[in-house]
Structure 1
Amino acid sequence: MPAPVSDRSEVLFLGGRSGVGKSSVAVELHVQLSDADVRHCLIEGDNLDLAHPPPWEHHLAERNLAAMWANYRDLGYRRLIYTNTVSVQYVDALTAAMGDDPRVTAVLLTSSDATARERLARREIGSALERHVTRSDAAARSLEALVPPSVHRIPTDGRTLSELAAEILALTGWHRYHRAMPHF
C-alpha cells in the first residue's frame, strides 16, 4: 500500500563542481523515481539565470524557481529535484523562493580533479574546456570550504549512476512513496 502523501513539499538539492555528474545523477534519479511511479519534478537550476551579463544581483534564479515551483505545486507535485553547482550553499534562499517550507535533503557531489577534467573533456569543445576546468577546480575548493557539514557529501569517482541515485534516494526516503500521477 502506498505511503500517505503529505501536503508539505520535499526538495533534494544536488550541488557540486562542473563535471561531477549533477545532471546525469538527476536524470538517473528521475528514471528510478519514474519507474517506481513516484511523483516528482526536476529543475536544472543552471538554466534559471543563464544570461550575459549574469543577472545574479537581481535574484533571477530564485524568482524563476518561485514561478516554476508554483506551477508544479498547482498541479499537485510535492517533490523537487533541483540541481545547481552552488545550490547546497544557498539552501535557505532557495527554500524561501519555493515559499512552502519544504523538507530539505542537500547533497554535495564530489570528485577528484582528474575525474572532473575527464568528464568535462567529453562534453566541452573548443576554447571553453580550460575555462570550465579552471572554474570547476575553484568551485570544488570553495564548496568544500563553505558548505555546512549538515550537507551530505557523496563522492562520484568510479561509481555508477545507478549506485549514486540509490544512495541519494535512501537519504530522501522518496523510494517509500508510490502514487500514480492523475491523468489530465
Structure 2
Amino acid sequence: MDHPEVLLIGGRAGAGKTTVGWEVSDRLRAAGTAHAVIEGDCLGQVHPAPAGDPRRSSLTEANLTAVWRNYATLGYRRLIYTNTVSVLADAEGMFVRALGPGVRIVRVLLTATDATVHGRLSAREIGSGLDRELAGSARKSRLLDDQAPPDTVRVPTDGRPVPEIAAEILAVTGWSAAPDGAR
C-alpha cells in the first residue's frame, strides 16, 4: 500500500463514535491488520482557544500532522479517526495535508435518534454538562445530516450491538489482514 488510508468515523455526541472506533480497531488487531487510532477530540482540547484559532482547527491539524508523521515513519498506512464533524467536506483538506497526497478517505457517519442519544449521554455525562451536550448533539446532528458529502456511508446505531456496527464499517473500508506484511 503506497498511500495512506483514513477511516473517518463521525456523528453526533452519543452516536457511538469512540466505542465503535475501538471495536473496529480490536477487529483489525485480531486479523493482524496494522493500523493506528486517533481520537480527534483530543488533538485540540485546550482552553482557552489559541489566539486566531477560535475553533482550534489549526492546532488540531498541527497535532494530527505531528502524530501521523510518527506513525508513518514506523510504516503505518491505515488510520481510524473519530471526531464529530470529521466526515464533512471542509475537513478533507486537513487529512490531505496531514497524511499526504493520494490519501484514501472513507467517511462513515454514525446516526442515532434523540432518545438513544439522551440515554447514552445521561449515562456518560454525570457532571454539569448534560444539557449542553444534548443541545450540542442535536445541533451537530442537523449539521451532519445537511452537510455530509454524498459518499458518506450512514450507519444507524440505535439498538444494534457494537460488533455488528464495526463489521458493517469494516466491510465499507475493505480492510483486512495484510498478507504482505504492509502496515
Fold-level similarity (TM above 0.5): yes
Q: Which residue of 1 aligns with 2:130?
A: 129
Aligned residues: 177
Per the TM alignment, residue 125 of structure 1 is displaced from its structure 2 partner at its CA by 1.1
8 Å contact 1:37–1:179 — kept in the other structure?
no
Amino acid in the other structure paired with 1:177: A
Higher mean C-alpha deviation, range 120-129 or range 12-21:
120-129
Give runs of aligned pairs for residues 14-93 of structure 1, distance below 5 A: 14-55=9-50, 56=55, 59-89=58-88, 90-93=91-94
Deviations 1:19-54 (A, max 9, x none): 000000000001100000100000000000011123
1:168 equivalent in alignment to 2:169: yes
Q: Which runs of 4+ in 1 moved over 4 A?
A: 178-182
8 Å contact 1:36–1:178 — kept in the other structure?
no
Paired with 1:25 and 1:95, the residues of 2 have a C-alpha distance of: 24
The alignment-based identity, stated in percent, is 48
Paired with 1:7 and 1:174, the residues of 2 have a C-alpha distance of: 15
Q: Which residue of 1 aligns with 2:160?
A: 159
8 Å contact 2:40–2:82 — kept in the other structure?
yes
Taking only aligned residues, the RMSD between alpha carbons, in angstroms, comes to: 1.7
Amino acid in the other structure paired with 1:50: Q
1:117 equivalent in alignment to 2:112: no
Q: Where does the alignment leave 5 or more consecutive residues of structure 2 unmatched?
A: none
Q: Where does the alignment leave 5 or more consecutive residues of structure 1 unmatched?
A: 1-5
Paired with 2:139 and 2:14, the residues of 1 have a C-alpha distance of: 13
Per the TM alignment, residue 95 of structure 1 is displaced from its structure 2 partner at its CA by 2.5
Paired with 1:36 and 1:166, the residues of 2 have a C-alpha distance of: 12
Per the TM alignment, residue 176 of structure 1 is displaced from its structure 2 partner at its CA by 5.1
Paired with 1:28 and 1:151, the residues of 2 have a C-alpha distance of: 20
8 Å contact 2:28–2:177 — kept in the other structure?
no
